[in-house]
Amino acid sequence: MRTRNITPLLLALSFAGCGDDDGSPTGDPGSGTGVATGDDDDDAGDGDGDGDGDGDGDGDGDGDGDGDGDGDGDSDTGATGGTESGTATDSMTGTESASDSGTGTDSATGTESDTGDDSDTGTATETGPDSDSDSDSDSDSDSDTGSTGESSTDSDSDSETGSESATTDADECDAADGQPDADDCTDAPNLFCFEGSCVDCTQSNEDASCGSLDPATPVCHDDGVCVECTGGEDTVCTDADEVCDTSSNTCETCTVDDTSACPDGSEACLIDGDTRTCVECTAGDQAACTGTTPICDLDENTCRGCLNHDDCAVACDLSTGECMPDDVVWYVDNHECDLGDKDGSESDPFCTIENGIGAIEYGGKGTIFVVDVHDSYPETIEIQDGKTVAMIAPSRRVVLGDDPDSDVEDFGDRVLVVSEDAQLFLTNFEIRNEGGANEAISCSDESGLVFDDVVVSEAGGRCIESNACDLELANSELINCAGGGISLTDAELFAHTSIIAANGASDADTPAISLNNTDDADDRPVAVELIYCTVAGASSNVEATRTMSCTDTDDDNDITGEIRNSILIAEHTTNSDVDLIAGTVGADCRPGITFEDSAVDVGPLDNTDGNDYVGAYDTDWFQEDYRLTADGESAFANIADWQVGDPLTDIDGDPRNQDGAGSPGADER
């Protein structure tokens, strides 16, 4: 709002006040007399006259106002000196108005004139809530004239305030809301009128305001300044070959060789016909894609992490999204291998996988390619010391452990041991341990294990024993392990398009998946996510046999997860004697895990949505490898609901039904 400039002279002439809402009485006039004396000296004389006037007026409110006006009038004339007297008369008017709140403001105006040539004006202003406070303003103007015509002027102004002087408010600007006001709003960036005040574009109508100010700068920047563009959705660079340079907020041209106009984070210029767009990367410019985002997603023109080994020149670190180093690559081939010195190159490969593991430095990363042979690799492969290893069989599955089709049988020991914060990415292998009593694979100590196209079978113990080791399975199978499929303690399991079935002994409670949460887990979550998996319990006469069991030491439902588009079937030999509720999913699992669009043998389960209860296990549903038969396809038809992000193919590479309901489990058929 605009505040009037009050000069001392106007202050002497104006005196506003507030009393009750409708009170505006007039005070009593005041009068004063002044005596002026002048001494003739050098043809000059001074005469001073003071006039005092009091004006009091009360409104209907509680405010009293006193106004004192003092005026001095001087008129001196002398030829050679002498004494003169002057008379001054003050005329003063006091005015008071009151507001509802009982705050009174008195205004008094005094006017003085005398017989001399001088006139003085005094103004007093007073404000007070239910009390009197005085504000006096004196203005003296003296004009002295001698015989020689000499004149002088004196001005005095006194102001004394008890509370607050009232001012007259007015709108700062009067243009329409959001419009510029060239007369009143000139202090950039507050160039726009909004509700009577000058504001910047962010407080007005933003882009609409900027466009009305100057079509060349139609976009409102966050700092309140109108600019040509900002690089966001409001960018208005009309020429197809221009982009917004966010350092200057102007439209500039980017080229393949010159991307200086592109904002930070956009390191490439995408040219599509006449249109140019600043992007993170293009097929021809992937310089920005480094570290954990080394791959350019050409659909979005953004950098992402690698998702599989084919994304990278050598292999992918599936735990971070980085590509594995291309200068730490070793080859292994044990076929008719001379155990002499080997350099691990493709032309001079190591004879054992352990040789390749040993060539990777402590805490380092490396890739091992295991050559396809007809004999297996009967080794206990230990990956420790914080190493990250990608182990890949380039062609058909390479057997680790024992192989009944070769001369290597009854290996008898653990095939894989992963520990001490190590990471192993295993692709295209078959792990067998038919002659051993232990688990085929042991993983522990904050480590990680990722399987892609891996089969684990014929172990005397469990297929996988995991303690504080996160597991990921894709397109993999865990079958016929006497101790069960997976035992997972204080860790996470993510599996898609995989089979965990026929594990366990006939006379023992051997669930396909056991999840365990302990007190000393160091806040490691216990979680499971199964998407398009087939999970079936072992053939058993034990009533408590389950597809999944959960043990939560704290009993506070810390075991969580999601099972979707899967098959959960407890396989029994004497169904009439079995508690089928327990046979499906253990009671401790059900509160924290959701089940959606899955085939379950019996129900109901907690946290369910769209599941079909298909009844007890039927041997006609599955082939020997737990792919579906025609009867199984019919029994499980239209149960699954494919979602964006789900696997596009089943375990055999057949396409998933993405248009509607399809078969749950690993095999779409």
Where residue 54 falls among pLDDT bands split at 50, 70, 90? very low
DSSP element (H, E) containing 633: helix 630-635
Q: How far apart are CA 332 and CA 377, in angstroms?
A: 10
136 has pLDDT over 50: no
Burial of 291 (0-12, 13-18, 19+ CB in 10 A): exposed
Lowest mean pLDDT among 138-147, 211-220, 334-343, 472-481: 138-147
Q: How far apart are CA 280 and CA 555, in angstroms?
A: 48
Q: Quote the pLDDT of residue 411.
A: 67
> What percent of the chain lies above the pLDDT cut of 70?
66
Torsion of CA 330, 336, 338, 343, to 10 degrees: -10
Q: Quote the pLDDT of residue 586.
A: 64
399-425 average pLDDT score: 83
Q: How far apart are CA 237 and CA 216, in angstroms?
A: 10
Given a contact cutoff of 8 angstroms between Cβ atoms, the answer to whether 466 and 488 are in contact is yes
Q: Quote the pLDDT of residue 324.
A: 98
DSSP element (H, E) containing 477: strand 477-479
Summarize pLDDT for 213-235 with one digit per residue, the tens.
999 899 999 999 999 888 766 56
Q: How far apart are CA 31 and CA 528, in angstroms?
A: 99
DSSP element (H, E) containing 170: strand 169-170
Which amino acid, one-letter code, is at 664?
Answer: P
The size of the chain, in residues, is 669
> Order of strands across the sheet with 197-199?
179-180, 192-194, 197-199
Pull the structure tokens for residue 327.
Answer: 């200068």
Summarize pLDDT for 561-591 with one digit per residue, the tens.
999 999 988 775 444 443 433 445 666 777 7
> What percent of the chain lies above the pLDDT cut of 90?
42
Helix (H, G, I), strand (E, B) or coil at 210: helix
Lowest mean pLDDT among 12-21, 121-130, 160-169, 392-401: 12-21
Q: How far apart are CA 87 and CA 498, in angstroms?
A: 117
- Ranked by mean pLDDT, which of 108-112, 555-559, 643-647 comes out on top? 643-647
Given a contact cutoff of 8 angstroms between Cβ atoms, the answer to whether 26 and 65 are in contact is no
Q: How far apart are CA 433 and CA 663, in angstroms?
A: 32
Given a contact cutoff of 8 angstroms between Cβ atoms, the answer to whether 56 and 25 are in contact is no
Pull the structure tokens for residue 312.
Answer: 């990278």
Residue with the larger pLDDT of the pair 230 and 284: 284
- Beta-carbon contacts of residue 536 (< 8 Å; ≥ 6 apart): 500, 501, 502, 512, 547, 567, 569, 570, 571, 617, 622, 626
Strand stretches in 181-281, DSSP E: 192-194, 197-199, 219-220, 226-227, 242-245, 250-253, 268-272, 275-279
636-663 average pLDDT score: 92
DSSP codes of every residue in 214-238:
-TTS-EE-TTS-EES--SSTT----
pLDDT averaged over every residue in the chain = 75
Summarize pLDDT for 352-368 with one digit per residue, the tens.
999 999 999 999 999 99
CA 212 to chain centre: 34
Closest CA to 669 of 548, 571, 567: 567
Helix (H, G, I), strand (E, B) or coil at 576: helix
Pull the structure tokens for residue 223.
Answer: 């700092």
